Amino acid sequence: MNQPAGRPHAASQSLPEPSRTPSEGLHCSHFMYRFRRDVLAGLSARRLRDGMRQFLAAVDPAEATRPEKLQRYIISGHKADFALMMMDADPLKIDAVHQAVVSGPLGAAVEATWSFVSMSEISEYVPSVPQYREKLIREGNAPDSPELAAKVAAYERRLPMMNQQRLSPDIPDWPAACFYPMNKSRVPGANWFMESSSLRQTLMAEHAQSGMAFAGRVSQLITVGVGLDDWEWMVTLWGRNPEHLKEIVYRMRFDQASAKYGEFGPFYVGYSATGEEILDHCRINV
């Protein structure tokens, strides 16, 4: 292994100040939790009551300690009872919520069964305005036509909002969501990272097209885990109905970007809930 040892003492005139806050985008973490019923059974009524109060404060924190985004879900199946999804400029503000959930009298009965650490970013596959114009021309639009100009102008107006949605999404008020991490494969014969940039651009554009068919029924966020956690990307899908989650993932599996190159980790499906609803559903009560 002969990668550069770096130069910590290099001229730092143009270097940013050391910081945990990214220059663009937010830190993002997904946490899956299960209640340990054997530990719960040993709590006195008083400790349980205190624990429930602290739990509700932990999953719905006060302004000062509240991450920029914080979503709560009841999770189906045995892999988790509930989930938190959080985004903030400071990763430790996010992790502090996790620490609060596993602390206190109820925390001893909360087991984190899975998590994923990632960051939001604007993907390299989002076309710039000139790239978008070239794409339209390749698709048959006349270079000097007013139609082309109008489309490009519309894209230019839309792009900042779309990018903002990628960096810090507006989360729809829908009941269902699913979460899963993924890699692009690097096996001989299907190695995404050995493909040309243009092929990757084409495949990702096709993939985006598939997703557009679900506008209004599915909203999605792709965050990056490369260098931070065990998979390269984390996918969060919000669904107007859980059936749309099943449908979009099945439909996209036939896109070459997924069919040939996609490797998928664990899937979790959940339903938006308040802290009280989580406790109630899980029958945590005094």
- In the complex with a second copy, the residue whose CB is nearer, 46 or 281, is 281
Among 142, 149, 153, 259, binds a second copy (CB under 8 A): 259
DSSP string, 231-245: SSEEEEEEESSHHHH
Binding of a second copy at residue 275 (CB under 8 A)? no
Among 49, 57, 174, 275, interactor with a second copy by CB under 8 A: 174
Q: Quick check: 221 binds a second copy (CB under 8 A)?
A: yes
User: Using CB under 8 A, which residues numbered 129 to 158 contact a second copy?
Assistant: none
Contact call for residues 210 and 218 (beta carbons, < 8 A): no
Give every CB contact of residue 267 below 8 A, 6+ residues apart in sequence: 178, 179, 180
Longest dimension (CA), the chain: 76
| Residue 189 lies near a second copy (rule: CB under 8 A) | yes
- Binding-site member from 41, 45, 62, 64 for a second copy (CB under 8 A): 41
Locus of tokens 């925390």: 107
**Which one of the spans 64-72, 123-131, 136-144, 148-156 is the region binding a second copy (CB under 8 A)?**
123-131
Q: Of residues 33, 73, 155, 180, which has the active-site annotation?
A: 180
Binders in 83-122 for a second copy, by CB under 8 A: 91-92, 94-96, 98-100, 102-105, 107-110, 112-117, 119, 121
Burial class (CB in 10 A: 0-12, 13-18, 19+), 33: buried
Q: How far is the CB of 214 from a second copy (least distance, A)?
A: 7
Task: Please identify, among the stretches 25-33, 59-67, 128-136, 146-154, the one whose residues bind a second copy according to the rule CB under 8 A.
Answer: 25-33
CB-facing half-sphere around the CA of 198: CA atoms within 13 A? 1
180 flagged as catalytic: yes
| Angle between helical axes of 146-167 and 129-138 (0-180°, round to 10) | 130
Shortest approach of a second copy to residue 132 CB, angstroms?
12
Dihedral, CA of residue 222, residue 223, residue 226 and residue 232, to nearest 10: -30
As a whole number of angstroms, the distance between CA 91 and CA 22 comes to 10
Nearest-10 crossing angle of helices 45-59, 91-101: 160
The reply to whether 249 sits near a second copy by the rule CB under 8 A is: yes
Stretch that binds a second copy, among 61-69, 124-132, 134-142, 147-155 (CB under 8 A): 124-132
Residues annotated as catalytic (active site), given as ranges: 180
